[in-house]
């Protein structure tokens, strides 16, 4: 069998070649780590999980700090020793009476295929001020209200409410 005609089958996290008896580890490629972060938080909240673990990056750490400061998550921990990349552990917050997640919606705005930028005057108001827009500016990652107060614009990463 020529190399072009090889078939690979997924077997318990490994690819098995049809013509050889060897396995290859596979790694999932992630083209948009911020969307992956938001999706993990969204899915964990909908499933009622208390804690969600997410691969770390500096941008994800800043978004996590903003979510904590704005009261959308209960707590977080940056674990840099478990893997070379590090892990962010986020404790999700739920309403005490109704047991509903505090994060009703978390939505990616600027995507790799279509970036969304806004000047300081054009920064969006989310849910008439009840939600937040997370913006990546030249002064760092911050909420839309903070960016407007500092008179800086930037890339609108996501809405949270």
Taking only the tens of pLDDT, the chain with its 161 residues reads: 444 554 444 444 444 445 455 544 445 667 899 999 999 999 999 999 999 999 999 999 999 999 999 999 999 999 998 889 999 999 999 999 999 999 999 999 999 999 999 999 999 999 999 999 999 999 999 999 999 999 999 999 999 99
CA separation for the pair 42, 98 (Å, rounded)? 18
Q: What is the pLDDT of residue 23?
A: 46
Domain locations along the chain: 33-160
User: Which one, of 78, 76, 66, lies nearest residue 106 by Cα?
Assistant: 66
Please give the CATH topology (third level) of the domain spanning 33-160.
Dna Ligase; domain 1 (3.30.1490)
> What local confidence, expressed as pLDDT, does residue 27 receive?
53
3-state SS assignment for residue 92: strand
């Amino acid at each position: 069998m020529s190399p072009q005609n090889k078939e690979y089958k997924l077997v318990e996290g490994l690819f098995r070649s049809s013509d050889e008896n060897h396995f290859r580890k596979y790694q999932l490629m992630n083209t948009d780590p911020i969307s992956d972060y938001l999706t993990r938080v969204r899915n964990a909240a909908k499933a009622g999980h208390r804690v969600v673990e997410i691969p770390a990056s500096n941008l994800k750490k800043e978004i996590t700090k903003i979510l904590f400061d704005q009261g959308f998550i209960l707590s977080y921990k940056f674990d840099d020793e478990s893997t070379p990349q590090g892990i962010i552990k986020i404790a999700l917050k739920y309403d005490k009476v109704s047991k509903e997640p505090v994060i009703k919606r978390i939505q990616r705005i600027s995507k790799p295929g279509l970036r969304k930028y806004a000047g300081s005057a054009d920064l969006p108001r989310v849910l008439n001020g009840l939600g937040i827009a997370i913006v990546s500016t030249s002064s760092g990652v911050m909420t839309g209200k903070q960016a407007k107060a500092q008179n800086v614009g930037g890339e609108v990463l996501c809405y949270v409410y």
